[in-house]
Structure 1
Amino acid sequence: MSVLSVKANFKSDTTIVEFTDKGVKKRVTVYTSSKRDFDLPKVLDLENVLKSVGVDSLERKKAIVLAGSNGEKQDTILVVARDGRDIKIVLRAPKELSVARQDTSRNDNEDHWSRENRTYKSESNEDDDKKEKKSKGSGKFFSRSDFGLYIGLNNWAKGSTTGSSLDTWGSRYVALSLQRNATLINGKQVDVAITYGPEVAWNNFMFEGNTVTEMLGKQVVFKDFGQNLSKSKLVVPMLNVPILLNFGFEEAKFRIGLGGYVGYRIGGYRKIKYDDGGKKEKLKGSYGLEDFRYGLTAELGKKKGLTFFVRYDLSETFKVEQINAKGLQAWSIGLRL
């Protein structure tokens, strides 16, 4: 490995190291204003020189990638700023390098670093600028808005009420959601956002056997229908507004959201299907259901892909005066597509 210039003082607070790096296959010039003392390594390559100057491993890797990314230019000028970590890389021809040095030598009263930075920016590659901005967290993890389809299972957390046992796999939860994401923190490693928006949801409570929901006077009851049924369910449509605090981890492309929701019932009906002949009946009604609902929710999954969700109602499904349906709180689990 040939060495063009081992060490030279550009100004009293500036050190220049020039060498040929076989790894990136070009001549490299490193400018540093680091005030810490350092010794040149025995093997002059970009990794070792930057390590001696005090540049951390993440920035060293970035510098090596950028230095070797342009095969047309034969020279790489690397500027290590005063904090020892902020790196700017420009690819320039040997003649341009000579002109830049003459320009900086004409006026010693002007600050060297500000002048050099202006020169480099005018010659810099736009792709490098974009990469640098992205590394500093300018890109957002969360999109401004998105549409979600929730599909899962639901049941009651306290199903001790007589006749309220549900068919686990037949009781399904479906929701259509339109969400907005407001980014609060746009960090290098983690983005934090508030996610909110309306959704229309359907709780399908599928009963076991021949149990049906009926109203006797003002009281809801769960009773045997007296005939064989292939399907019996109580459907509760809701208009909900979930609000979540979402954390997006850029490197892992993973997110987790925690929050709650409030909702208002926009209908209700009982649907049964007879075992013989497949005859269906649908009967609308409130069935003693609570109009307002609220609870907790959590979501976790990949940035782009399936997301696992959990919903748990803190409020009861039926009104407090419904003595035959006390303590029934709905929960849902499933996937957001």
Structure 2
Amino acid sequence: MKRITFYALVFLISFSVNPVEAQEKNTSEKIEILEKKREAIISEEKKALKKDVELINLRYEKKEIDWEEAEKLKSEAAKKHAKNIKDRTAALDRQLAELKQEDSGGTNWEDEHEDEDDDWYHKSRYSRTTTHLVLAAGFNNALLDGQSLNDSDFKAGGSRFFEIGLAWRTRVFERSNWLRFRYGFSFQFNGLKPTDNRYFVQTGELVQLQEYPLDLEKSKFRMDNLVFPVHFEFGPSEKIESERSVWFSTRNKIKVGLGGYAGFNLGERQKLRFEEEGENVKKKLKGDHNTNDFIYGLSGYLGWGAAALYVKYDLNPIFDDPNPELNNVSIGLRFDVN
């Protein structure tokens, strides 16, 4: 009777415990233990790297080493501790790879995570490129060769321009920010308001200002351009450093930008508003007005932080031959929005 009871108990145990499930549970536990060991090694090496960086920074603050030497030592320290991680986790990685392949039957874990460790120290700590929204607005005018603003055919206060675009700023040197290269694209809207009740009249290829027969409440000529500005920007900046990255801030710093732009004329239009027989009349006159299709010019800015005084001058004449060379000029404020 006792022997029968013993065999019955063994039979019940064999059904209550699934050996496959027990093996899977055991594999998962092993993987979890190995991953924790791996994470502990990485955490230990990163703390050691942080301590090394702090000591290097202390030497730099005491002027025992210069900035270039400090950065070189930090880079070497980062590579040393990354190599330590690889060496110390190599055996764990092999075990994990075997266990995970056994567990999933698919992914090669070691290959999947190898690049991740490499990226930890190979990736540059220096953020070199930033993106900005560019907004600019101000006064616009157009001048003949040798003509001054006092002699201009356009209202100084009423003629305005507006610009909106995107710009990328990249440091020319990897570890210094005194020289930056700026490039991008912008939409420019240049408006001109003629003086003395005049508007543009096209006769063949010739475009001239003529007096309108009625009193004009508004006479405005606008030219829309798509341009690609390029500037070299100079000025001081503040170096900001964290464990994983280094960047430079120009907040509350003076900056100077010199460069130019080139692009295309997207179109132009002329708006007239006047009163006729007691009614307000608005006219929109569209046409090419024999304007230049290719736009190019010089531009520059002088600013503090995000705001700057902005000047641009079109080297191309507004109207093509046989018209006199009338060049657009603008001055206003420019804002770089992060």
Shorter-chain TM-score range: 0.5 to 0.7
Match of 2:273 in 1: 273
1:207 and 2:205 correspond:
no
Match of 2:228 in 1: 241
What CA deviation, in whole Å up to 9, does each residue of 1:235-288 have, x standing for no partner?
100011110011231156121111111121011111011156542111111111
Match of 1:197 in 2: 184
CA contact (8 A) 2:205 2:322 kept: no
What CA deviation, in whole Å up to 9, does each residue of 1:203-236 have, x standing for no partner?
1011113101111233212100011111101110
Greater Cα radius of gyration, structure 1 or 2: 2
Write 1 or 2 for the structure with the bigger share of helix.
Answer: 2
Match of 1:49 in 2: none
Match of 1:33 in 2: none
Letter in 2 for 1:330: N
1:60–1:316 CA distance, 2 compared to 1 (3 A): same
Match of 1:174 in 2: 162
CA–CA distance in structure 1, aligned partners of residues 266 and 230 of structure 2: 20
1:183 and 2:171 correspond:
yes
CA contact (8 A) 1:257 1:298 kept: yes
Q: Is the partner of 2:144 in helix, strand or coil?
A: coil
Q: Is the partner of 1:267 in helix, strand or coil?
A: strand
- Normalising by structure 2, we get a TM-score of 0.55
What CA deviation, in whole Å up to 9, does each residue of 1:91-113 have, x standing for no partner?
xxxxxxxxxxxxxxxxxxxxxxx
Match of 2:261 in 1: 261
Match of 1:72 in 2: none
Match of 1:146 in 2: 132
Q: More relative contact order in 1 or in 2 (CA 8 Å, sep 6+)?
A: 2
Letter in 2 for 1:153: F
1:143–1:308 CA distance, 2 compared to 1 (3 A): farther
Gaps (5+ residues) in structure 2?
Answer: 1-57, 71-76, 82-124, 239-251
1:333 and 2:334 correspond:
no
Letter in 2 for 1:319: D
1:334–1:143 CA distance, 2 compared to 1 (3 A): farther
Match of 1:133 in 2: none
CA contact (8 A) 1:229 1:273 kept: yes
1:61–1:197 CA distance, 2 compared to 1 (3 A): closer
CA–CA distance in structure 2, aligned partners of residues 82 and 207 of structure 1: 64
CA–CA distance in structure 1, aligned partners of residues 154 and 215 of structure 2: 16
Letter in 2 for 1:256: V
Match of 1:295 in 2: 297
Letter in 1 for 2:259: G
Q: 1:186 offset after TM fit, Å? A: 4.6
Match of 2:25 in 1: none
Q: 1:158 offset after TM fit, Å? A: 1.8
* Percent identity for Structure 1 against Structure 2: 28
Q: 1:180 offset after TM fit, Å? A: 1.2
CA–CA distance in structure 1, aligned partners of residues 156 and 183 of structure 2: 29
Match of 1:228 in 2: 215
Match of 2:315 in 1: 314
Gaps (5+ residues) in structure 1?
Answer: 1-58, 64-79, 88-113, 119-137
CA contact (8 A) 2:137 2:161 kept: yes
Task: Tell me the number of residue pairs that the alignment of Structure 1 and Structure 2 aligns.
Answer: 214
CA–CA distance in structure 1, aligned partners of residues 227 and 300 of structure 2: 15
Letter in 2 for 1:301: G
CA–CA distance in structure 2, aligned partners of residues 82 and 277 of structure 1: 79
1:191–1:82 CA distance, 2 compared to 1 (3 A): closer
What CA deviation, in whole Å up to 9, does each residue of 1:144-165 have, x standing for no partner?
111011101111232769x970
Q: Is the partner of 1:317 in helix, strand or coil?
A: coil
- Normalising by structure 1, we get a TM-score of 0.55
